[in-house]
Every structure is written in C-alpha cells, then in structure tokens.
Amino acid sequence: MKPTLYIKVCGMREAHSLAAVAALQPDFLGFIFYPKSSRYVGQELSAASLENLPSNIKKVGVFVNETSEVIRQRVQEFKLNAVQLHGDETPNQCQELRASDLLVLKAFALGGNFDFDTLLPYVSHCDYFLFDTKGEQPGGNGLVFDWQLLRNYSLPVPYFLAGGLDLTHAETLRNLQLPGLFAVDLNSRFEISPGKKDPARLNQMIQELRQADVRSSMTSFT
C-alpha cells in the first residue's frame, strides 16, 4: 500500500548521484536554479540527464525571485513538472505559472511568530506550500523548526515539511500527526557534499518512512 507521506529529495546536481537517488524511487526530485545556492544546477547537470528518469517521479525546479519567463524556459529545457518558489514571489506569479499547467509549490520560512494569515492570498493559486526553517539562506540551512507551529494548520493547501530532516527524525515523522502534512523534503542532511547525495543513508530514510502508513490527512497527488 502506498504510504500517505510522500518524499522529495532536493538539491540534485550530479548525474551519477541523480541516477543513484532516482533508483530509490522518491516521489519528487528537486533541482535548484538559484545561482547563489551551493547546489545550483549551473552547467553541471545537463537537461539530458533528466530524460531517462522514471516517469512517476515528479521533477521540481526550485527558483528564488526569478521571472516567470526564465522559469518557463527552464521548465521547457529540463521538462520539469513543478516549480518551487522560494523567494518573495506574489500570488499573481503563482497563478500565472499554475496556468502553464505546472504544479506550484510556494515556500515559506517559519519562525515562532509566523503569521499564517500571510498565506491566505496564495491559497487559490498554489498546489502545495513548503514550510522550511527561517535562516540566512532562502533554503537548505539544515535547521529544524518547531513542527508544533503546524498543529493548528487549517488551510486547504497541503504542504511539504522541510528543514534539516535527518535519519534521527524518521520514527517521529513516520508517526507525526499534523493537519495538511503531505510530504517531507530531504536535502542537506543526506549529502556527501553540496549537490551530491549519500544514496545509502537516503535509502535507509526512505525505507524507514515507508515501512508503515503515516497518519496524514493527504493521500494522493496529481
């Protein structure tokens, strides 16, 4: 039976590492198109490297304050299925990209005083939210936030949980009961170096997360 908690592995950049991680069958693979990121795709990963990925794996392009024109160019070049917007993108831009038949994930950095009302204008224009830890960088800071901030989440948009997730969190995540929780986002804690993942540790994490049904309110994605 398919577990209800989906898995995204983000920050892919090297072709060999990509092939090894894809063989583990995560539900989503993320590719960062933000030049200031240490995991920036740049010239290191060709579009051809993505052509033979399993069709059931959704390819997500991560962008920070990029124009819709450039985003669409990367979507076409890399045959992406979804875009993750990790900056100050507006609800209008989310709507614009979603109209291009893309899944739209809008990321937000959570801290202790986060105002969930700021999400309301985005509700009608995003397929998913992604909640990360507030830090110096737009993402990939490797820090965990207090997940209990989400215990009263009541919006209809399901979300990805990100921010420093590691093997030590596997059991807790497997039994975590939070409204709207849809997927986990794995990145920096599973790296040998930026952009190069440790397939053995990722495999262990994926197997532990999938060994039992996770009690999430969301059960499928399109």
Question: Which sign, positive or negative, has the C-alpha torsion 171, 175, 177, 183?
Answer: positive
Quickly count helices (H) and strands (E) in the chain. Answer: 5, 10
- From the candidates 10, 94, 126, 185, give the one annotated as an active-site residue: 10
Considering only CA atoms, which of 209, 157, 159, 203 is closest in space to residue 183? Answer: 159
Rounded Cα distance, 172 and 169, in Å: 5
Return the bridge partners of 105, or none: 84, 128
d(CA 112, CA 69): 35
- Give the side-chain half-sphere CA count within 13 A for 156: 6
Rounded CA gap, 119 and 191, in Å?
A: 31
Contact 115, 96 (CB under 8 A): no
CB atoms within 10 A of CB 122: 20
Contact 208, 202 (CB under 8 A): no
Catalytic residue among 27, 132, 185, 198: 132
Q: Output the CA torsion sign for 221, 151, 202, 17.
A: positive
Per the annotation, the verdict on 94 as an active-site residue is no
- Identify any residues that bridge with 156 across adjacent strands, giving them in sequence order: none
Q: Which residues are designated catalytic?
A: 10, 132
